[in-house]
Amino acid sequence: MSAALAGRRLLVSAGPTFEDIDPVRYLGNRSSGKMGFAIASVAAERGAEVTLVAGPVHLATPAGVHRIDVRSAAQMFDAVMGALPCDAYIGAAAVADFTPRAFAGSKLKKVAGTDTLTLELVKTRDILAEVAAHALRPALVVGFAAETDDVATYARGKLERKRVDLVCANRVGVGATGFESDDNALLVLGPGGFERALGPAAKTELAARLLDLVAERLA
């Protein structure tokens, strides 16, 4: 199976996005990027041509991988769309769903007499859905779903709503897996009732097993 990705073009997104509020503050999330970087690393080891679009993380670039660093959801959208076409897109990034409507050019200050601050947020563009609907749609589109409850239900809904080929769901906020951990557990869902549990295991091992599924579908 390791040779099945040789010469294939894989596009992987990883890490969080940071949505700037002002020059000091931002909205972010706890994604470390480790899962996406593991996928990029293993894919490159198997001979794939890998482009990795990385949010703000502190991880070394895997050997043989072309890395594009971004900060915001808008920048990640542009980088992913600009890297098409490819054979497979694996969207492992935790992209912000919302971003501030306007960036404050100066640091927001406390206002005397008020104990609250209201931020107006607007939706970001849905990278996964737009890749799946793109004229240059990859042969395989894989999404990730980090959920705190009803993991399979929400992930199956994402699979159908965004019309992707696989969704890798993981539960976060409990135990020692998921965000910021070197280990994870995935429930991989696909059309026709396909369901495959992977792990708990090291993210490098999960990356290898997920890429086995990717290679099967690209063969």
Q: What is the CATH number of the domain that holds 203?
A: 3.40.50.10300
Q: What is the pTM of this model?
A: 0.94
Does residue 178 register a pLDDT over 60? no
Asked if the structure places residue 102 within a domain, the reply is no
Task: Describe the strand order of the beta sheet including 9-14 as a list of residue ranges.
Answer: 65-69, 49-54, 9-14, 88-91, 140-147, 166-171, 183-190, 194-202
Q: Please give the average per-residue pLDDT across 138-146, as a whole number.
A: 95
Using DSSP bridges, classify how beta strands 98-100 and 19-20 pair: parallel, antiparallel or unpaired.
unpaired
Q: What is the pLDDT of residues 66-79, one digit of tens each?
A: 999 999 999 999 99
- Tally of domains within the chain: 1
Asked if the structure places residue 114 within a domain, the reply is no
Using DSSP bridges, classify how beta strands 140-147 and 166-171 pair: parallel, antiparallel or unpaired.
parallel
State the residue range of the domain holding 205.
9-97+119-218
Residue pair 120/103 in contact by the 8 Å Cβ criterion: no
**Phi, psi of 189, deg, nearest 5:** -115, 145
Asked if the structure places residue 104 within a domain, the reply is no
Asked if the structure places residue 106 within a domain, the reply is no
Non-local (6+) Cβ contacts of 176 within 8 A are 183
Q: What is the pLDDT of residues 74-120, one digit of tens each?
A: 999 999 999 999 999 999 999 999 999 999 999 999 989 999 999 99
Instruction: Give catalytic residue positions.
Output: 29
In our burial notation (b when 16+ CB lie closer than 10 A, e otherwise), range 58-94 reads ebeebeebebbebbbbebbbbbbeebbebbbbbbbbb
Angle at 125 between CA 121 and CA 127, to 5 degrees: 140
